Structure 1
Amino acid sequence: MPQEISLTIDGVKVTVGEGATILAAAQSAGIDVPHLCYDPDWGLPPTSSCRLCLVEIEGARALATSCSHEAADGMVVHTNTDKLQRTRRMIIELLLSDHPHDCLTCEKSGACALQEYAYDLGVKEPSFRCEAVPVEPVQDGPAIVYDRSKCILCGRCVEICHNVQVTGAIDYLERGYDTRISIPPGKTRAQSVCVECGNCIDVCPTGAMSAAGAEGAGRTWELKRTATICPYCGCGCTLVLNTRAGHLVQVTGEPFLGVSGGMLCVKGRF
């Protein structure tokens, strides 16, 4: 049993087990800290890459990433200061600097974490301007579509593929402005170890990863979601059927739902 420690977050005294992160401590107290790259509900390890979860710790020289920084006894943390708000706005503006402004027609509109944080932080347009990434969705297999123009390189898809699905089919490719998520260069998806389970779609916070065939079939708020049991094998995973007007649009998983915790295979999802 881990030893308990106490810290203060935004004036609230919080008690957690030793080894817990500041973000986990904040969430246990109902304090929301913005984050894009980290998704503990899916079992993803923290990578501290988006920097949106930065917090101020009294006595510390610099801001700390709350998703990976361990809480300490007696620590005093601030999550919503003017300095943090300015920093987060700048991060969102940088992410939007080469992002297409097509939220009106994006399949993820209404369920996009980037859109949500831009709204919360009052970012209407980026202060930084650069060449927009061409909108060229790639479907190199029967099930998954990757739109690099909407990709913010948060790494969630890479983490779930490597550390949860344990396939390691995709990773970062190229450097700098040309960085994208890809299967090994020179290979088709059929030649790679990708099994098109589609779990990368569920963890994607934007519209970069999507299910083939779902485009234009319904907006997120128009879909009726119904949980059911996959009939393919004896595992009995829980599928979430997304339907509109009685027609199936796509199948998704939800964290903690069913025996597989929301993880699905290609046979159940597609």
Structure 2
Amino acid sequence: MAEERELVHLTINNIPVEVPKGTKIIDAARKVHINIPHLCYHPDQRVKARCRICSIEVTGNRRLMAACATEVWEGMEVHTDTQIVRDTQIAILQLILANHNQDCLNCPRNHRCDLQELCSRFNIGHTGLPIVVESREDAANNPSIARDPTKCIKCGRCIRACKDVQGIEALNFSGRSDKITVTTAYNSPLEATDCILCGQCSLVCPTGAITEKDDTQRVLDALQDPKKHVIVQVAPAVRVSLGDEFHLPPGAIVTGQMVAALKRLGFDRVFDTNFGADLTIMEEGHEFLHRLENGGTLPMMTSCSPGWVNYVEKHYSDCIDHLSTAKSPMQIFGAVAKTYYPEQAGIPVEDIVTVSVMPCTAKKFEAARPEMGRDGRQDVDIVITT
């Protein structure tokens, strides 16, 4: 029988709350529908308490406390909406904005930015302080991940995702005080580090400092070119993640709506990456039998995930021979689309543009690998993701 946890009784903005001992104030507040503002806090990461946007007032304490790092105690009286709390939060946001590139209209995170949302919540239109943001070169040459240091708020979310979740540690803090930055070892490009281009850092970044490399405009340009025959393949996971985006019930499959939307956008043909997966299964099965019968390297591991392939290549190079030599479903379909399909459709291969809709940023890097093409053409021209 599970041991019952001790309950703690407190009030938050004079509302009685009962939560298990050890609960952080920010989580206790959610129980009574009070959303304490925060930036560095993330429910899937260890507590950092860097930004102090979540500062709250506790009766009997001289100083404000961080709601994300402070555990509740019996009889605690928490206030999240006093004048000193609000003034502190506004001052912190203004200081962040003073060292932040505020070109929001051109930011990939526009309307999906935590900092922007907080500024709207606190009615901050401009900082009122001198702008001290340093102009730095965007590290945007990577095929998967774009970095803009001028939008970094030093919250540390990306570092924790890379180190604690993925176990890679390609990102870390460098410098001290107001010179502190989030960067790679020796400020190297991400692709030159242990990074496997999984994109988890971009998912947790609250601003536009780390984002997926956006290739949407390349797709739109291809669709508008009357000389191009644009085909698209869609990964299995996409038909569910799109349903989530439109707030459908969890697990809802939107294949029909998705195909209809792609056709209306102007794609000439819509294909399913499941076909490529079928080909991959046949190739991997044949290769496995060949290894088994001829003393090949075993066990044989899948090569379907480019992030996994990157991980093995960079961290366990002695295991490369264990990877299957078969391409991923996306790349096998891309190869078919640039060889067999032109012959069957009677369309010159140079007029065909292949677009892939994938759930993974590493797919962008995979499509750009020089071995994933022939005659100077890549098998998959453009990858966009959900």
Per-residue Cα deviation, 1:169-198 (whole angstroms, up to 9, x for no partner): 111122334332211116443332111110
TM-score by length of structure 1 reads 0.79
Q: Work out whether residues 25 and 71 of structure 2, in 8 Å CA contact, stay in contact via their aligned partners in 1.
A: yes
> Greater RCO between the two (CA within 8 Å, min separation 6)?
1
Cα distance between partner residues in 2 of 1:85 and 1:161: 33
- Other-structure match for 1:13: 16
Rate the CA distance shift 1:86–1:240 in 2: closer, same or farther, 3 A. Answer: same
For 2:152, the equivalent position in structure 1 comes to 151
Q: Which whole-Å CA distance do the structure 2 matches of 1:66 and 1:132 have between them?
A: 28
Q: Distance in 2 between matches of 1:108 and 1:166?
A: 26
Distance 1:197 1:17, change over 3 A: same
Partner secondary structure for residue 56 of structure 2: strand
RMSD across aligned positions (CA): 2.7
* Preserved CA contact (<8 Å) 2:162 2:171: yes
- More helix per residue: 1 or 2? 2
Output the amino acid matched with 2:180: T
Q: Which secondary structure state, in structure 2, belongs to the residue aligned with residue 116 of structure 1?
A: helix
Which ranges in structure 2 are unaligned for 5 or more consecutive residues? 220-234, 246-257, 266-304, 309-358, 362-386
CA shift at 1:137, angstroms? 1.7
- Structure 1: give runs of 5+ residues left out of the alignment: 219-227, 232-237, 248-263
- 1:68 deviation in Å? 0.6
Q: Secondary structure at the match of 1:269?
A: coil
Distance 2:185 2:196 in 1: 14
Which residue does the alignment assign to 2:272?
none
* Cα distance change of structure 1 residues 27 and 159 upon mapping to structure 2, 3 Å threshold: same
Matches within 5 A, 1:179-258: 179-185=180-186, 187-214=188-215, 229-230=236-237, 246=262
Give the equivalent residue in structure 2 for 1:2. 5
Residues 145-183 of structure 1: per-residue CA shift (max 9 Å, x gap): 110111111111011111122211111122334332211
C-alpha distance in 2, partners of 1:207/1:188? 18
User: How far 1:61 sits from its partner (Å)?
Assistant: 1.4
What displacement does 1:109 show? 1.0
* Superposition deviation, residue 53 in structure 1: 0.3
Paired AA for residue 11 in structure 1: N
Larger Rg: 2
Give the deviation of 1:132 after TM superposition: 2.5
Question: What is the percentage of aligned positions where both structures have the same residue?
Answer: 30
Output the amino acid matched with 1:143. Answer: S
Structure-2 separation of matches of 1:75 and 1:217:
56
SS in structure 2 of the partner of residue 27 of structure 1: helix
